[in-house]
A and B are shown apart, each in its own frame.
Chain A
Amino acid sequence: MNEQETHHPGAEVEPASTSSTAVRLDEGHIIGTGGVPERFTNPGLPAHVARAADLDEAAARRAEKQVATLFGLSILGTLAFIVLYFAVDLDQTVFVPGIGVTNASNLALGTTMALGMLGIGFGAVHWAKTLMPDEEVVEERHPMRASDESRERVVKVLAEGGEQSQITRRPLIKYTMGGALGLFAVPLVLQVAGSLGPMPQKSLSRTFWNGGPSGPGEDPEFRPLRLMRDPEGTPVKAEDVTIGSVFHIMPEGLLPNPDDPEAEYLEKHILEEKAKAAVILIRLDEDLIESQKQRDWGHQGIVAYSKICTHVGCPVGLYEQQTHHLLCPCHQSTFDVTQDCKVIFGPAKRPLPQLKITVDDEGYLVSAAPFAEAVGPSFWERG
């Protein structure tokens, strides 16, 4: 409810006079202000209070000295910067209480630069506050709108110009101009939009595990690839993987293998392939694995999953050994490895795709098939 009712619905009596004059007590119910104005009036600017430096020349001289000192400190700071720039080497360190050992050059150059700047800044502000006039000045505002004459003049000029150009009389010109102007930017937009990048084709659904490079237009033929340690590049034997351990895996042929200098590895587009081919390898007690498919696609409890989160693509590296949960550090999507990496918390929806693995005749783990679905974040056409 209004705290102050400005009108009373119902019986109202027209005031005998305007609201700000006094009324007589026999006039009945009158709306008015009883002789006082409707609103308070602005008391006007308060009297100016002088500052010390306005009244007292000694105070003013003191202020001048203070300003000069500040400016002087700035000069000192700048000079110190120049000296320290040459004097302090980049590998020097210095101990600062509260910070520890820090880079001496950064500290020296930064603090002297700061002194140089702050001296000027504080000096100027102090000068303004103590010595420059602090009597308030009043500037009148004018309505923002232009005068009516200006407006009419503009309208007249435009209208006349439009009429003189004959555009209103010549619709053919008007429409074709609209068409031309509307279209002229299309070549610029088309060039940029069309040439920015290639069409993805099937690239988002393929990885290096398909048999080789999987960029747009590339269609590798599947061959089993060994699972190699990332970043060392050495292959992994099934017996190396013990319960409770986690291996970070890249496919054979992606990274150089220090044990086999003759082996080929990728020279170009390495990061693009890594971004889809990263795999995480875990061994579980087979009894804990709930789905038969997960057991079949693994090898004696060793299971391999895509490491690329199905949310927005960060690597899901955090393996909690005791709970068998995989946690993505970016947005905390949590996958349960015993349930085929189903999402149990967080913003991801789809489980991590499993890579089917087996062992080759030397006992090394190899892929048995490429990923059965696209790895990483979802996309419209994913299906």
Chain B
Amino acid sequence: MSTTTARPADALREGDTPAEAAPSGAARRVGGIAGWVDDRTGAAKPVGYLMKKVFPDHWSFMLGEIAMYSMIICLITGAFLTFWFVPSAGHTVYDGSFVPLRGVGMSEAYASTLNISFDIKGGLIIRQIHHWAALMFIVALTVHMFRVFFTGAFRKPREINWVIGTVLALLAIVEGFAGYSLPDDLLSGTGIRAMAGFVQTAPVIGTYLVYGIFGGPFPGEMIIPRLYSVHILLLPAILIGLFTAHIGLVFVQKHTQYPGPGRTNENVVGFPVMPVYAAKAGGFFFIVFGVLAMISALVQINPVWAYGPYDPSPVTAGSQPDWYMGFADGALRLLPGWLEFEFWGYTLSLNIALGALVLLPLVYTVLGIYPFVERWVTKDDREHHLLDRPRNNPVRTGIGMAGITAYSIFMFAAGNDIMAIKLGMSINDITWFFRIGLFVLPPLMFWVTKRICLSLQRRDRDTVLHGRETGTIIRTPDGKYFERHDTELTADQWVLVQHDPVAPLELETEVDEHGVARKTSRLAKAKVALSRFYFADAVNPVTPAELAAAHHHGEEHEAIEAAPSADESEPAQVGRH
């Protein structure tokens, strides 16, 4: 700034920040278009910020990428399909190239889907890529959700992202359902019939709801065009918006990382977007697209021409929805009929409502609130950027496995007739197995998982406490031999000890500092009980003191006679290497 003689007006400049140095030659020479854009938007700053962002490297972080890329591929191929698909239930007679359906009456939607499959070059491959990408999208987001759950990546500050992810998951399966129902074939039409049936059973409003959705009696002419606008307009808009927020938050909050040497809660260790991740992640998009294209070239999906057009009278054996709706269909198969009650002229069909109307929102609500439940139990307000190894939170991992078990039972139940015919079993027996299994298997899985986690944790402790066998044999004056174990922690054992010790919350004392009995609320008691459920048998990491104590007897003449403490893995052995 000016260094000339002071003037009265200079007082006004007190507190001014010095002007930045004039831009260097390189900054001024930023290439034509980029410079033009930056001149008008200032985009250089955020682009620079984004390009230098560091992302940690682990294969499990790619699951979310698979989901994202599959969704993008669905958007691209879907846009193509809209050029040929006719979203109309109007009646037409087929005269295209597929011989077994020539002369058959069908809807325009179905006829246009046959047209895409057989009379448009590349139509079938685009259709198949679209459907396979939809399946992969939901598979990948489910496994991604498992990864986030089991590693505790939903903890502060990522609760918002978890909730966004839950909503994305729910919307994705609704989007898929709408999408595969558009061709109006026999199989998906049967699914729509089931939807009409269970919407109809909703208490009080059911009949109005179903006539509203279908624009009259089932099937009507409105359901196909309405599903179309939901599928190409409403849900994609919300999905894109939410997923942009989802990715944006990942950038802003920086990605979590697995614990390891050099990785702390206060840093991110990995590679920057430019050039490494731009190449890896960008390349992975092409890999996902390529693999989906290869699968679509070789494996058939949703052969609507074989199902035939929808008609309320025929039906095919083995009527299932796409896999991600399987859990709701399975619930409908497992719920017993005696749950339907009639009273005072009204019918309450809990056998249907519980499985079809309550289950879906319930599952996603339970998922969505889990971070807040865990926060309430642990009273943990710190930011967490280091991932948990699943074994280090046995109860969370057990809860997750129990949830997956229950979900899987519902999902496999939807395939009970396929199982019956492929395995030569009775469908009635299979149904009963799942009915009983639903109550027995999840708690069993919880218990087994928790025990496995605790054992793994103890094994980690043993590994550390065992130390490193040095091969140096020491003989004490008394004549006892033992091998000296090095108690220094090796770098690759850091992962075994880095996690924080935990303990259950304690109730505040019954009596406060003045000696007056304190009233503990029920909620506080519940919180303590839940905390004990989570952490009562916690296995905490080895501390330096424990490691030193474990081998203390080896150094001098004291404490050799003492019985081996519980912290020792095994008595010292001679000659073992």
A46 to B492, CA, bound (A): 9
| CB-contacts of A74-131 with B (<8 A) | 85, 90-91, 96, 99, 103, 105-107, 109-111, 113-125, 127-129
| CB-contacts of A19-52 with B (<8 A) | 33-34, 36-40, 42-46
Contact A314 B315 (CB under 8 A): yes
Nearest 10 CB-CB pairings of A with B: A110-B297, A312-B197, A124-B283, A45-B262, A121-B286, A117-B290, A118-B290, A121-B287, A349-B340, A313-B197
Total residues of chain A contacting the partner, CB 8 A:
106
| CB-contacts of A44-65 with B (<8 A) | 44-46
Contact B545 A121 (CB under 8 A): no
Contact B122 A109 (CB under 8 A): yes
Contact A377 B197 (CB under 8 A): yes
Interface: B203 (CB within 8 A)? yes
Interface: A253 (CB within 8 A)? no
Name which of A133-141, A149-157, A162-170 contacts chain B.
Answer: A133-141
Interface: A199 (CB within 8 A)? yes
Contact A139 B268 (CB under 8 A): yes
Total residues of chain B contacting the partner, CB 8 A:
132
A198 to B210, CA, bound (A): 10
Interface: A6 (CB within 8 A)? yes
Contacts of A378 in B (CB 8 A): 200-201, 340, 347, 349, 352
Contacts of B544 in A (CB 8 A): 33, 36-40
Interface: A193 (CB within 8 A)? yes
Of B129, B283, B501, B545, the residue contacting A128 (CB under 8 A) is B283
A81 to B203, CA, bound (A): 55
Contact B271 A136 (CB under 8 A): yes
**Sample of 17 A–B contacts (CB below 8 Å):** A2-B503, A36-B543, A46-B262, A121-B289, A124-B280, A128-B279, A129-B280, A132-B275, A132-B276, A197-B216, A198-B215, A198-B216, A318-B317, A332-B416, A332-B428, A332-B431, A345-B428
Interface: B194 (CB within 8 A)? yes
Contact with A along B267-289 (1 / 0, CB 8 A): 11111100110011011111111
| CB-contacts of B513-551 with A (<8 A) | 536-540, 542-546, 548-549
Known contacts: A2-B540, A40-B498, A42-B261. The answer to whether A275 contacts B215 by CB under 8 A is no
Contacts of B275 in A (CB 8 A): 128, 132
Contact A329 B318 (CB under 8 A): yes
Chain A's closest residue to B333 (CB) is A331
Contact A137 B282 (CB under 8 A): no
Contact A216 B491 (CB under 8 A): no
Name which of B30-38, B306-314, B400-408, B436-444 contacts chain A.
Answer: B306-314
Of B121, B195, B289, B332, the residue contacting A85 (CB under 8 A) is B121
Shortest C-beta distance, A49 to chain B (Å), equals 13
Contacts of A382 in B (CB 8 A): 342, 346-347
A1 to B272, CA, bound (A): 44
Contact B261 A46 (CB under 8 A): yes
Interface: A337 (CB within 8 A)? no
